[in-house]
Amino acid sequence: MAGNGVRGLNEALRTLGLSSQTCKSQVPSLCKRSMATVASTPNITRSVAEPWQPLSTVPVTVFSFPSLEPRRVESWSTKHLHLPLRRDILHLAVVYEGDSHRQGTANSKTRYEVHGSHRKLMRQKGNGKARRGSRQSPLLRGGGKTFGPKPRDFSTSLNKKVYDLAWRTALSYRYRRGELVVAEDGLELPLPDEFLALVESGRLRGVGMEESTALEDGFVRRYMREVMQGLQWGADHGRTTFITGDRRPNLFTSLDVAGEEGRALEMEDVDVKDLLETGRIVVERGALKEMIKRHQSDLVSNIFVDGKRQKGPAIAQPLVMP
Amino acid sequence: MPPRLPILPAVRCCRAALETQSASSPLVSLFAALSVQTRSASILANLAENKGAHHKRIRVGRGPSSGYGKTSGRGHKGQKQHGKVAARWQGGQTPLIISHGRKGFVNLRAPEMSIVNLDRLQAWIDAGRIDPTKKITPRELIKSGIIGGSIKDGIKLLARGDSTLRTPVDIIVSRASGSAIEAVERLGGKIVTRYFTKESMRRLLVGKSVITDQPLPVGPEHVESVLEKARNGPFYYRLPDPTSREDIEYYRDPAHRGYLSPSLKPGESPSLYFKVPGETKKAFTSKAKQQEQEEEDRLF
């Protein structure tokens, strides 16, 4: 209960925070809100005459990456990016992934696998000591392990349709909170030309430190921090996950160096937990499309009826083009 | 909701607004300032299964407070407490398997057939998953999912719900029961049984073979035409013909609507060993001729 209260307060704070970023015309109306929880009177009733039409699409703005200029607006299906939050489904998926990521290679030797002779150590009687059958006994130092770990597979199973639903639920959760930034294809970090020229000429590696990348890394770290702080995407704002179709050298190496600001992942390496981890997700449009395409088994059918099959909602429809 | 982007002009605009409003509502600006500092907490810590989704294992014999402590829920004394009786134990009587022995055997080499029943076929036709206006071949049956995901050694048509069939179909399968043949033909449909193997059905599915109800041509006179066809067109694997006696006899039988049955001469038996009764003529030869023949046949 207390947790809910805190969460509610956080939500309220965030709403107010939003108001601080909106434009002047909207501010006065928001300022009228009192601190007490006043039951507002929204339009919760609806005439019977007008049929209820739930949302079928939601808008997605595609931005250019470093400048964040909106380039176009697309409409995406609510079944892809506006699913209700299902914490239980996300939990199933995250646990499933965690199980399958367990290495399970712990291995120990039993008394029959420990090297050595199985000769009886001493006579059965007359030693004034405990009887000893073999040197590998688990009771002795250097002996085998009684019930030790053996390599095994920890992976569990999850129905594919549930897993795919979890994947889209995670993306929808990000979208609803405004934490899903869709960038144009070819997402890459532009590094300053002067820096690249210096790296090229090898002048950032002084005499005696040809092997060291300390200077280059130091610059990249500071540069990355500035970029990310400027965007309010950095360590102070919960880090950022960048998802691209394939490896982008500048972005990936920079974020390897400046890991405290965020992380970069290729689309193939992403799973549900990655989508939920950092403050926001910045994803290439093509990569997002491919992710949705690969995780819609509950929306598409492989049953052909009259030669056609249900292919699910269209993944992206242009709304506003440049 | 669009992504929250820190756009400089917007921030400047808001700051101006807040400055003008600060006198009237200082709290708002306070909280606005606070919210900039809010830490983004991951949802990962707040994920959980639904209540009741997971049953906790009962740990038996782990102390009195558990309710399953002292006797572990098994009561007092006797067989029920101490163990169980093997399912095969017949109370001390000599087991039937010992007094009577095992009977029969399992033929592991028998071809395993996928089953298609007529009521299911009709349901598939009604749902639009099979087109009855076209020839229904193993390719169509497999692609429609009527026999499930795995391809077995053949497809057999059975007559469950034969009264529900109301669409005439043109179907080619590996085997068909007598009543299924009757039900299909009663409606004016056509049924042919043809020899298939697992491999040949896979090739039909991926389009490496072409379906036909004709056996492979046999004899030197066909070589040229077959080669000509192979040289001109794209390569297709030929569908195999049966080689075992039982299979050949099955597909030679008109009662099974076998694809080899048209090759039978009028009055010829589908069996390779037994002739039709009454057909055989006794050829009488003289004793001398018989002896002469024996002399010829003698090897040593």
The pLDDT assigned to B29 comes to 44
Phi and psi angles of residue A24, each rounded to the nearest 5 degrees, phi first = -55, -40
With cut-offs at 50, 70 and 90, classify the pLDDT of residue B15. very low
DSSP state of B240: P
Whether A85 maps to a domain, the answer reads yes
Q: How far does B117 lie from chain A, in Å, by closest CA?
A: 19
Chain-chain contact of A88 with B48 (C-beta, under 8 angstroms): yes
Q: pLDDT (tens digit, 9 = 90+) per residue, B131-154?
A: 999 999 999 999 999 998 899 999
Residue A238 within any structural domain of the chain? yes
Quick check: B214 and B259 in contact, CB under 8 A?
yes
B16 touches chain A (CB under 8 A): yes
Inside any domain, residue A273: yes
B89-98, B240-249, B285-294, range with greatest mean pLDDT: B240-249
d(CA A61, CA A76): 10
A260: left (phi over 0), alpha (psi -120 to 50) or beta: alpha
Cα R_g (chain B), whole angstroms:
39
Does residue B32 have a pLDDT over 70? no
Q: Which residues of A touch B27 (CB under 8 A)?
A: 35
Structure tokens at A132: 């000893």
B288 in reach of chain A (CB within 8 A): no
How far is the C-alpha of A96 from the C-alpha of A165, rounded, in Å? 14
State the total domains in chain A. Answer: 1
Examine residue A109 and state whether it is found in any structural domain, yes or no.
no
pLDDT given for residue B142 in this prediction: 96
B173-213 pLDDT, tens digit per residue, is: 999 999 999 999 999 999 999 999 999 999 999 999 999 99
Q: B8 in contact with A at a CB cutoff of 8 Å?
A: no
What whole-number percentage of chain B has pLDDT above 90? Answer: 63
Q: Which B residues 132-161 touch A at CB under 8 Å?
A: 143-145
Residue A166 forms part of a structural domain: yes
Q: Sort out which chain B residues have CB atoms less than 8 A from A14's CB and list them.
A: 35, 38
Across the interface, whether the CB atoms of B14 and A21 are under 8 A apart is answered: yes
Instruction: Number of A to B CB contacts under 8 A, please give it.
Output: 122
CATH value at residue A98: 3.40.1370.10
Q: What class is the B110-275 domain?
A: alpha beta
Q: What gap in Å lies between CA B70 and CA B57, rounded to an integer?
A: 18
Q: Domain ranges for chain B, please list them.
A: 110-275
Q: What is the pLDDT of residue B3?
A: 57
Contact at CB, B6 and A175, closer than 8 angstroms: no
Report the C-alpha gap between A19 and B32 in whole angstroms: 8
Tell me whether B31 touches chain A (CB under 8 Å): yes
Sign of CA dihedral A161, A166, A168, A169: positive
pLDDT of residue B12: 45
For residues A93 and A274, what is the distance between their CA atoms, to the nearest angstrom? 11
Looking at CA atoms only, how far is residue A182 from chain B in angstroms? 9
Whole-number pLDDT of residue B5: 58
Domain span at residue A88 reads 60-102+155-300+309-320
> Which of A10, A21, A73 should we substitute to test contact with B (largest number of B Cβ atoms within 10 Å)?
A21
B28 → closest Cβ in A31, A68, A87: A31
**Extended beta strands in chain A, E state:** 57-63, 70-77, 180-183, 240-244, 262-266, 280-284, 304-305, 308-309, 317-320
Chain-chain contact of B6 with A21 (C-beta, under 8 angstroms):
yes
| Residue stretches of chain A with pLDDT short of 50 | 1-6, 8-10, 12-13, 15-34
Say whether B30 sits in a helix, a strand or coil.
helix
| Alpha-carbon gap: B146 to the closest alpha carbon of chain A (Å) | 10
* pLDDT of B37 strictly over 50: no
Mean pLDDT to the nearest integer, B7-34:
44
Residue A73: inside a domain: yes
* Contact between chains at A20 and B18 (C-beta distance less than 8 A): yes
| Residues A104/A153, Cβ–Cβ less than 8 Å | yes
The CA distance from A268 to the nearest CA of chain B, in Å, is: 21
Note whether B17 contacts A21, CB cutoff 8 Å. no
**Is residue A140 a part of any domain in this protein?**
no
Residue A129 maps to a domain: no
